[in-house]
Structure 1
Amino acid sequence: MGEQAALERVEDPVTVDSLVADLRALGVEPGGTLLVHSSLSALGWVAGDAQAVVDALRATVTEAGTLVMPTHTPQYTDPAGWSNPPVPADWPERIREARPAYRPASTPTRGMGAVPECFRTYPDVHRSAHPIYSFAAWGADADAIVADHRFANAMGEGSPLARVYDRDGDVLLLGVGHAVNTSLHLAEYRADIDPPRITCEAPVMRDGERVRVSFEDIETDTGDFRTVGGAFESRASVAHGTVGAAGSRLLDQPALVDFATDWFEANR
């Protein structure tokens, strides 16, 4: 969305204070654990751009709570499988050899949007060590949520998603839909559906040296995420509202994951 279109979506500039008020009206409370998926452009014209959104989320959750965002790095997936666009046939191994090691403090996100990319750069934010499916967190339980993120089964039981679940957290869809709702991946791991397994490889730093590590995971499938999310919303209490200019939803994460686990078992 261009600057003019963003201006036309709002009557007044979206500010930190107005975002906090909108988030409070939606039901976000201080002291909770909040997993956020967001679209900056959906909010309209924001004074301060992504930084204002991060500041507003922090102010709403407060230091007594914990703010969590996915900070994934798909640039470390297998280049042989890239399709948008594909790379030349003789490039994949050259890419694997050449790309720098994943480093939580400095490796940028890719395709995650401006808000999580901004969030991960704050000096008091903790980021997990997973080279593809990292999460970042700030607040009371930030370190506990992102510590010891297992490489294998990256969004399963050893993941920040499971730790949000254990803390009875909420999911905030801020101008986005269930297609990007990572909590549904946790349900994929928990469901008795026997998905295909794949081998992943990525470079990381160990003892000051770049090493390539391999680990197994499931082949996730987001194709039905919109459907299962809609089915959950038709049966559960979900808060709907507008934050800035963005249609937004606040969901109970454990209830969503439990529902989706059953749904996947019945429909996949």
Structure 2
Amino acid sequence: MTLRAFRRSEVADQLRALGVRRGGVLLVHTSFRAVRPIEGGPEGLIDALCAALGPAGTLVMPSWTGDDEAPFEPAATAAAEDLGVTADRFWRRPGVVRSDHLQAFAALGPRAEAIVKTALPLPPHTPDSPVGRVHDLDGQVLLLGVGHDADTSLHLAELMAKVPYGIPRHCFVQQGGHRVRIDYRENDHCCRRFALADDWLRARGVQAEGPVGHGTARLARARDIVGLAVDALLRQPTLFLHDPAEGCADCDEARASMRGIIPNSG
């Protein structure tokens, strides 16, 4: 069966009905495959998001590369494939502002520069990262066809709660015409237990859920997501890691980092 394509105006109406604030800041993580077809494809979805926000609103999407080895060129480097086609189309759009570093986000609207033009945040989602600035500006987070496992605000919560795990990572940047390696530790794991945020937000009645296109969307204030996660992590710092008995290699690596026994990880 062929699904009908939603018009841009219909999608904008769905977003408004969900609770997207006109004139607000909106951080979007999306899978176009989950919501398609939409008139105009991914560009049509971006048009609908902009229409729901209005001209005073600011739309933000992740735009990092996923490649810590290669040089980053804001005007040329493609977004990581796992961010989806919408994110990769968005940074190429006229008027969109993109970060100058490989942990990039892209934004369109009056607050775009203030959100994405940060110094290189290491680890990627520090309070002075684009995610942190969305939080500080009381922005909303829209998970469009994806769950909280894609929610970067929960990585911000981990750092604010000072979780004890951190995987050794490195990246390369250009400094003074030279390629320089920077080593850091990242609060990384499989992220599947980020789904716990659904329970916390629903229990407080602060997460809206509903249809957008042919998919399902979740919408909440970044401050609600982060606040509830920080409270939970302060009580149980390893809450987002699978139990060792569950056999999750990524979470096992994160647990091992607390004991400083991760060989050959950099």
What TM-score results when the alignment is normalised by the length of structure 1?
Answer: 0.82
Q: Is the 8 Å Cα contact of residues 71 and 120 (structure 1) preserved in structure 2? A: yes
Mapped contact 2:118–2:130 kept (Cα < 8 A) = no
- Answer yes or no: is the 8 Å Cα contact 1:128–1:136 preserved in 2: yes
Q: Which residue of 1 aligns with 2:257?
A: none
Instruction: State the secondary structure of the residue aligned to 1:24.
Output: helix
* C-alpha distance 105-210 of structure 1, shift in aligned 2 (>3 A): farther
Contact 2:159-2:187 at 8 Å conserved across structures: no
One-letter amino acid of the counterpart of residue 177, structure 1: G
Q: State which of 230, 234, 237 in structure 2 corresponds to 1:265.
A: 234
| Residue 122 in structure 1 maps to residue 93 in structure 2 | yes
Q: Counterparts of 1:35 and 1:233 in 2: how far apart (Å)?
A: 19
| 2:20 counterpart residue number | 28
Kept after mapping to 1: 8 A contact 2:97/2:107: yes
> Which residue matches 1:70?
62
The residue that corresponds to 1:217 in the other structure is: 185
The Cα shift of 1:37 comes to 0.8
Deviation at 1:260, TM superposition (A): 0.5
- Which string of whole-angstrom CA distances, capped at 9 and with x for unpartnered residues, describes residues 83-112 of structure 1? xxxxxxxxxxxxx4xx4x111111111110
Residues in 1 aligned to 2:142 and 2:121: alpha-carbon distance in whole angstroms: 25
The 8 Å contact of residues 200 and 228 in structure 2, kept in 1 or not, is answered as no
Structure-2 separation of matches of 1:143 and 1:235 = 33
Given the alignment, which residue of 162, 166, 177 partners 2:132?
162
Q: How many residues align?
A: 235
Q: CA deviation at 1:73?
A: 1.4
Tell me by how many angstroms 1:196 deviates: 2.3
Which residue of 165, 172, 176 maps to 2:142? Answer: 172
What residue number does 2:151 align with? 181
State the 1:162 CA deviation.
1.0
Hey, what's the Cα distance between the residues in 1 that align with 2:188 and 2:117? 23
Structure 2 residue identity aligned to 1:161: V
The TM-score with structure 2 as length reference comes to 0.82
1:112 to 83, 88, 91: 83
Distance 2:148 2:228 in 1: 14
- Superposed displacement of residue 172, structure 1: 0.7
Q: What amino acid sits opposite 2:115 in the alignment?
A: I
Say whether 1:142 aligns with 2:112: yes
C-alpha displacement of 1:250: 1.1
SS of corresponding position for 1:55 = helix
> Which residue of 2 is the match for residue 235 of structure 1?
204
Q: Spell out structure 1 runs of 4+ moving beyond 6 A.
A: none
Residue in structure 2 matched with residue 15 of structure 1 by the alignment: 7
Identity of matched residues, %: 34
Contact 2:197 2:225 in 1 (8 A): no
Q: State the superposition RMSD in angstroms.
A: 1.8
Deviations 1:197-231 (A, max 9, x none): 524122x4456x46234142323232421123333
**Residue pair 1:103, 1:205 contacting (<8 A) in 2 also:** no
Structure 1 portions without partners, runs of 5+: 77-95
CA distance, structure 2, for counterparts of residue 220 and residue 258 of structure 1: 20
CA distance in 1, matches of 2:45, 2:119: 26
> Are residues 190 and 243 of structure 1, via their aligned partners in 2, closer, same or farther at CA, if it must alter by over 3 Å?
same
Report the Cα distance in structure 2 between the residues aligned to 1:116 and 1:210, rounded to whole angstroms: 30
Q: Is the 8 A contact 1:36 1:171 kept in 2?
A: yes
